[in-house]
């Protein structure tokens, strides 16, 4: 079920681009766009926000149930369109030209969007995904606490079969549309989930234009950096800035048993686990145990606030970017995640938590 949260944003924005994709990476083309919006039932002074990667691109104020947003683009991108202070949101493709958006208050996910060739392809692909997600939701609703273990296993088996079918649809789209910027968008999202071998195979088939796009560059960076050490492999060193702006290396912990912990202030499960991690640290730190925590935060203030609030006394680093370099190196596709490294510098465990982590540390630090 872990994958549900990871892909939910992608469900609405899934992709496209055939002949249009060759234009989106051509710098000689017009880069300006105008989005004309109609939102039935939306009060005046409501703020429409367009954002990408948690950053606001533009905004507008609704008047007489209408809004207009104009701007320029380096290349088409998949963005969120939302109303500030509400749960109204959807995703759409911004690309040069005249685009229209029509929806009702509270029903943004059923919006009609025109003027974008990418959006048309997105809608066709997304129709297949929505059908699978509906079946997954139905299975989740059938799972009850009083079920037997076998009954749950049967339902979960059916659920994960649908996940594999979903992956197959995405991979087939990418393989059949190697000229498509949308294919690069999908692969850029799923690269750490599918792993280096699958990502490399699909990326190699892309056209030169797609590889040169921002999504293509993101995939290339992952392929260049990724090492994803397995249990028994030596750790991979890296350097990153701490909360004071000083460079810290993982190798600074050499000779001590170290937990390389990936987390973020906005990650609920991470924050819920922190009290247990504090107890583990207090128990084993005097014996030679350290934690080297890498945050996937992009907001430094929230990152530092979480460190203070949760009482995390160990080393903290982050590059405050959407594509955390250490995460790419270690192949992190969801958090919390961690790698336990022994005093000799070898990975001896991954994603160990609570008593399982304590038991392993007791073996390493008797």
d(CA 68, CA 50) in angstroms, rounded, equals: 12
Residues 270 and 359 in one domain: yes
∠ Cα 363 365 366 (to 5°): 70
Residue 124 has pLDDT above 90, yes or no: no
Number of domains making up the chain? 3
Residues 136 and 84 in one domain: no
d(CA 340, CA 360) in angstroms, rounded, equals: 9
E strands, the chain, in order: 32-40, 47-52, 55-61, 66-72, 77-83, 89-94, 97-104, 112-114, 239-241, 247-249, 257-263, 289-295, 315-317, 337-341, 347-350
Residues 79 and 186 in one domain: no
Residue 123 has pLDDT above 90, yes or no: no
Q: Which domain holds residue 125?
A: 119-225
Residues 353 and 246 in one domain: yes
Residue 21 has pLDDT above 50, yes or no: no
Residue 4 has pLDDT above 60, yes or no: no
Tens of pLDDT along 248-298?
999 999 899 999 999 999 999 999 999 999 999 999 999 999 999 999 999
Residues 109 and 130 in one domain: no
Residues 6+ apart with CB under 8 A from 339: 229, 235, 259, 260, 330, 347, 349, 350
Residues 132 and 152 in one domain: yes
Q: Is 97 exposed, middle or buried (0-12, 13-18, 19+ CB in 10 A)?
A: middle
Residues 31 and 113 in one domain: yes
**Percent of the chain at pLDDT exceeding 90:** 81
Residues 113 and 8 in one domain: yes
**Percent of the chain at pLDDT exceeding 70:** 92
Q: Is residue 231 part of a domain?
A: no
Q: Tell me if 101 sits within 8 A of 92, measured CB to CB.
A: yes
Residues 175 and 106 in one domain: no
Residues 6+ apart with CB under 8 A from 355: none
- Token look-up 């399982």 returns 356
pLDDT at residue 324 in the model: 95
pTM: 0.80
């Amino acid at each position: 079920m872990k994958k549900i949260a990871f892909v939910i944003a992608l469900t609405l924005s899934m992709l496209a681009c055939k002949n249009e994709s060759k234009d989106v990476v051509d710098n000689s083309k017009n880069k300006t766009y105008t989005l004309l919006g109609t939102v039935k039932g939306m009060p005046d002074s409501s703020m429409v926000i367009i954002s990408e990667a948690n950053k606001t691109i533009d905004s507008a104020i609704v008047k007489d149930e209408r809004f207009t947003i104009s701007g320029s683009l380096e290349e088409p991108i998949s963005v969120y369109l939302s109303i500030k202070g509400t749960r109204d949101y959807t995703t759409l493709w911004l690309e040069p030209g005249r685009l229209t958006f029509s929806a009702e208050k509270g029903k943004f996910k059923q919006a009609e969007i025109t003027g974008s060739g990418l959006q048309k392809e997105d809608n066709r692909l997304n129709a297949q995904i929505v059908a699978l997600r509906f079946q997954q939701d139905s299975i989740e609703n059938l799972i009850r606490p009083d079920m037997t273990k076998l009954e749950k296993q049967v339902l979960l088996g059916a659920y994960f079969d649908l996940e594999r079918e979903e992956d197959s649809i995405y991979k087939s789209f990418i393989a059949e549309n190697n000229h498509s910027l949308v294919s690069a968008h999908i692969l850029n999202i799923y690269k750490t989930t599918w792993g280096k071998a699958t990502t490399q195979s699909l990326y190699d088939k892309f056209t030169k234009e797609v590889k040169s796009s921002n999504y293509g560059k993101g995939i290339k960076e992952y392929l260049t950096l990724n090492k994803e050490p397995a249990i028994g492999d030596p750790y991979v060193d890296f350097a990153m800035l701490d909360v004071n702006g000083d460079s810290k290396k993982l190798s600074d912990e050499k000779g001590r048993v170290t937990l390389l912990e990936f987390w973020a202030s906005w990650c609920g499960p991470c924050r819920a686990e922190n009290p247990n991690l504090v107890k583990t640290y207090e128990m084993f730190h005097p014996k030679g145990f350290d934690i080297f925590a890498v945050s996937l935060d992009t907001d430094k203030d929230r990152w530092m606030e979480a460190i203070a609030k949760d009482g995390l006394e160990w080393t903290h680093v982050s590059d405050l970017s959407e594509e955390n370099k250490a995460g790419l190196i270690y192949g992190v596709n969801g958090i919390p995640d961690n790698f336990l490294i022994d005093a000799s510098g070898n990975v001896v465990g991954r994603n160990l938590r609570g008593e399982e982590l304590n038991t392993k540390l007791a073996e390493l630090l008797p």
